[in-house]
Amino acid sequence: MNKRAIARVTAAAVATALPLSVMSVLGTGAAFAGEAQPVSAPADSGDGRPASDYRNTATVNTPFPTRAAAEGANYVEESKAAWRDYLYQAEDGSNEEEGTSWKAGDRYTRMEERMVHSKAMNRNIPIVTIRAKEDPRNAPTIYLLNGADGGEGAANWLRQTNAIDFYGNQIGNVNVVIPMEGAFSYYTDWEQPNETLDKGGNTQAWETFLVQELPGPMEEALGTYNPNRSIIGMSMTGSTTLVYGEKYSGFYDSIGAYSGCAATSGEMARTVDIVLDRGNATYEQMWGDRNGKVARENDALVNAADLKDQKNIYVSSSSGLMGEHDVPSGDRLNGFLPGSITPAVEGGAIEAVTNACTHMLKSTTDAEGITQDSNNLVYNFRNTGTHQWGYWQDDMFDSWPTISEGLFPGNGAQAVEQRDAGKADYLEKNPGMGAKGSTPVSSLLPITDAVGEALAEQNAEGNE
């Protein structure tokens, strides 16, 4: 039996052994359009990669100057664009930057919203960028993928982490690109249409968009001459980035996969069903037969041997046991005891599954000789932690030396300093409540409607 077959048998065994309780939780638009300046990648990309990588190109429009202009374009449902709160100053001035003369509704410094048209999907997609503050024309590019809701709800990098500050200010010399659409898509090319998720366009083709259509035009629009790029995903997209690393080895100079399950076909397709069910979609619509060719091609565990040509890979998982970000005394809950319920029950079970997946991946890559010494493949297994953003923000810091090695080769010492400084700054600003947050349960009983509403809000915001 070959190593890929062994990996599949192992995945099936783990899926069968997992209890069912765990498996089950797993200006005006018209005026602005006239100003759009589409760009496309040149025939010679200049970055050492074949021109065929850019054979399909997206249309990248100029940034919207104000929130009113973005809303006037009417290309994103307003109910799914709460992320705009982090790009534009509020009309009431409540989130104005100190010491600026900017007007309410203007973009924040170096934050951009761009409408990008995908030819493959025939739809317009919102992209948020964080421009480098230091030498932006020589800055590499990081592509950040949101999790299951694609950034369309509360669970996105802008709202749940300090990515804007870390990459935009503390690192400062990288451009960041964040697609703010693609809920429940796995950012893959789908086999069949889905009326809801296609959003009036063609069948979803996210892999084509992100790998073939977007990078050349987007990086040209950002004005960078630096050919280095990284891609980072978490939860649903932690699986995606591994698949991209296997299919397009070297296209990304470093890869981050936080709390993703590498095994997605065969028996392990049940973990994928949990995500797709939330989008009223089916596995068969996405990849066809669960044991078929397309499903296997998109299973990162089955194809783990193909990581041999990919460098600078960071993979993480927590254990599923409650940790520092799950307790009321920590930095995320600010003393709100009921907020621990979702991480303890749902987030713990989901992370236990991803932990098993990640250990299977490590066993396979070890057997293939794909290690830290050969590929700078770094695994981070945390003894505690659930499936939630507090740990993915930790990964953002902890993965930086690995990600940075692809973007700035030989810059390891500075990357470690930046990682540690980012952590320290966050903890200083978000120390948690310590003993003050250890509120006795009896003091919260009976739980009122107000607390129930707060719990619902916490659950919506705290998890992927």
> Could you report the per-residue pLDDT of 42-98, keeping only the tens digit for each?
334 444 444 444 456 899 999 999 999 999 999 999 999 999 999 998 766 555 545
Q: According to the model, what pLDDT value does residue 289 have?
A: 98
Residue 170 to residue 165: CA distance in whole angstroms: 6
In the chain, domain spans? 3-462
Q: Which residue has the tokens 């790009």?
A: 87
Residue 271 to residue 98: CA distance in whole angstroms: 46
19-33, 352-366, 428-442: least confidently modelled range: 19-33
Q: According to the model, what pLDDT value does residue 14 have?
A: 38
Return the CATH fold of 3-462: Rossmann fold (3.40.50)
Closest by alpha carbon to 295, among 189, 418, 378, 424? 189
Take residue 136 and report the two structure tokens written for it: 């932006």
Average pLDDT over residues 136-159: 96
Identity of residue 351: E
What pTM does this model have?
0.84
Strand partners, 149: none
Q: According to the model, what pLDDT value does residue 435 have?
A: 63
pLDDT digits (tens, 9 = 90+) for 232-274: 999 999 999 999 999 999 999 999 999 999 999 999 999 999 9
DSSP 143-212: EEP--TTTTSSS-SHHHHS-HHHIIIIII-S-EEEEE---TTSTTSB-SS--TTTTTTSSS-BHHIIIII
Q: What percent of the chain has pLDDT over 70?
A: 78
Residue 252, C-beta contacts closer than 8 angstroms, at least 6 positions apart: 143, 229, 230, 231, 241, 244, 245, 310, 406
pLDDT digits (tens, 9 = 90+) for 285-325: 999 999 999 999 999 999 999 999 999 999 999 999 999 99
Q: According to the model, what pLDDT value does residue 453 have?
A: 47
**Which comes out higher in pLDDT, residue 454 or 384?**
384
